[in-house]
Amino acid sequence: MDGAYTERSVNTKNKMWSLRFPREIGTPKRRMCKTKEEYLDYIRHAIRLTNLYTTVYNFSELIRFPFYQKIDYDSAIVDRLYFDCDFKVKGEEVDGYISMLKLHEWCEENGNIKHQCYFTGSAYSVILAVTHDGLENKRGAVYNAQQALLDKLDIVTDPQVMGDLARITRIPNTFNFKKTARRYAIPLKEEQIYLGDKVIREIAKKQQFGVKPMGTGTFNITDFDCAPVRKAPVDVSTFSFDDVSDDAKEILGKFENAPPCVKRMLADEDLGYNARRILIVWLRDQGLLLDETMAVLKETLSDRKYKHSVFEERQPQYLYRRMLDMYFPKCRSIADRGYCDCETENECGLR
């Protein structure tokens, strides 16, 4: 790695991309930074050692507990939409570069919408500016607006970011240490966007500062303010206890009457971060030991998702330490993830 992380990469006169505090920073294990100084200090100490992420959205509120505080994700300031343009989505090969290009061109052709395109070290992401008249359902508005654009442009991006107010993204000009990447995550200049994926990967061998967002307009998402209207339901096949190893089957055997939402999560090998949190908390609250829960995850998640959850995020370990304040969510929150069909709270007898 060459270069050093400086304040130039996070400070901008553009209000939409200015950082507000508190916010979270991650490796991807998360911690809260209450000030810009704390945020920059963390980056300076870690930039040469690990991947670095921060929350996509700014937040306005904290949830306060007797001995600590945490970000209130429902207080997200919805002034943007975020798209993660991967090259593989749900196991299928897609062209992340073309997805980024189509989003860029749509912004330019539809009111010159303010936006920024990024190369993440291995794929692409796009942030575009939005306005609204006040939202009743933030997650739904974000999800529905994202899905509307994907449908209009006939592209596929990472579905795990859809409607996710807690989403994290790579911090610009930090290094992607993955063996398949070994590049910087850089903002792209307008003249670089059409150079092609191969050339952009060469550019990303070095940091790139001073890049300004393109456009001046905004995309009004007021009309999308309702519960998430999912294009297709998440796989609703019920989980089969016969599909796992004998050890995992013994652990799960007493949960054959688990609620439908939990069985659907167990059946989804590509379970996203928030849905994994729900599943882990449910298994934890049924009395499973940490090792038992990780054994279940190993059997039901793909190898990639299992390693990411257990070894990179250390998500099960974190949730087991938070037994006193991290609870199983309400049906509405589970429905927002596409795993619950209940028309009324606790219709399935979950509680």
214, 113 contact by CB (below 8 A): no
The amino acid at 64: R
For 7, the 3-state DSSP assignment is: helix
As a whole number of angstroms, the distance between CA 170 and CA 181 comes to 13
Q: Which ranges of the chain would DSSP assign to H, the alpha helix? A: 36-46, 96-109, 138-153, 197-203, 246-252, 260-267, 273-285, 290-300, 303-307, 315-321, 331-336
With a cut of 90, say whether residue 111 has pLDDT above it. Answer: yes
What are 17-53's pLDDT values in tens digits?
678 999 999 887 889 999 999 999 999 999 999 999 9
Asked if the peptide bond before residue 22 counts as cis, ω within 30 degrees of 0, the response is yes
d(CA 278, CA 327): 9
Distance CA 344, CA 33 (A): 38
Between 271 and 18, name the one with better pLDDT.
Answer: 271
Write the DSSP assignment of 288-350 as a string of letters.
--HHHHHHHHHHHS-HHHHHIIIIIS-HHHHHHHTTTT--PPPHHHHHHTT----SSTTTT--
Ranking 17-21, 112-116, 202-206, 318-322 by mean pLDDT, the lowest is 17-21
Pick the CATH number of 7-224 from 1.10.260.40, 3.40.50.1820, 3.30.70.1790, 3.30.70.20: 3.30.70.1790
| Average pLDDT across the chain, whole number | 86
> What's the predicted TM-score (pTM) here?
0.76
**pLDDT in the model for residue 2:** 46
**Mean pLDDT across the stretch 234-248?**
61
The answer on pLDDT for 189 being more than 70 is yes
Residue 232: what pLDDT? 53
The β-bridge partners of 53 are 26, 170
Asked whether the beta carbons of 208 and 8 are under 8 A apart, the reply is: no
- pLDDT at position 14 is 43
Residue scoring higher pLDDT (121 or 321): 121
- Alpha-carbon distance 2 to 238, whole Å? 50
Query: Which among 273, 265, 277 is positioned nearest to 234, based on CA atoms?
Result: 265
Summarised one tens digit per residue, pLDDT across range 310-341 is 988 889 998 998 887 788 888 877 877 778 77
